[in-house]
Amino acid sequence: MSQRIIQQLSEGIEHGEILRSTYQELISTIERRRWAGACHSTAAVLYILLAEQGLGPTLCLGEVHSGNYRFDHSWVEVHGLIYDPAVGYPSEEGKTVSPPVFASASIEDGAPTHLRYGAPGTLAEDGHKVASRDLDEYSDSQPPEFEIWTVAEEIGDRLGMEIYCSELRQNYGAIRRELRGC
C-alpha cells in the first residue's frame, strides 16, 4: 500500500520519479539492513543521492515534535517538501512516532504529516555532535558497514547511477546540516 501512496504523491511534484525511486530504494535498504534509529545517516545518504541527481536538496537537523514527544532528528528537504524515511522506524529507544514521510505526507495514507519539523527547541548532546560535524567528519564516526559513502554508492548502483565513494566524499564531505528551529 505504501508504494501506491508514494507513487500517487510523486505524480504531482517536480522530479517526482527521481524522488520516488530514490526514496523507495533507501527504504528497502533500511529494511534489508535493519538500519533503524539511523536518521542522521539515512538523511545524509538521501541528501547525497538527490544532490547527485541534481535536485538541490537541503540536509536538515532540528527538533521534531509529535504531540508531547520531542526528539533530535535529521531529514531532507527538496523544494520545501520533507523527505524522511527514517522516522518510520524505531528510534534507538525503540519508539516509533510516525510512518515515513514523503513530500511532507505520511506514506501510510497520503495525508500531511502530523510531525512538526524544525520545531523550537534545544538539541541534546548527540544532536550537537552531529551539528558540529561536516559529512566527512560524521562518516568517520560510523561503523564501516553503515558508512554513508558506501551505502550511497550501493544504492546509486541499484538506481543505475555511476557514483563512487571517493568522489562522493570529495564532493559532499564539507557539507553540514542546516539547523531548523534551534
> Tens digit of pLDDT for each residue in 29-69?
999 998 888 999 999 999 999 999 999 999 999 999 998 88
Contact by Cβ (8 Å): 40, 138: yes
pLDDT at 144: 85
Q: Is the pLDDT of residue 132 over 60?
A: yes
Radius of gyration, alpha carbons of the chain: 15
- Residue 144 CB contacts under 8 Å (≥ 6 apart), including other chains: 150
Average per-residue pLDDT for the chain = 94
pTM, full prediction: 0.96
- % of the chain with per-residue pLDDT over 70: 99
Q: Is the pLDDT of residue 90 over 90?
A: no
Burial (CB count <10 Å: 0-12, 13-18, 19+), residue 52:
buried
Domain boundaries, the chain: 2-180
CA dihedral (31, 57, 168, 129) positive or negative: negative
pLDDT at 105: 97
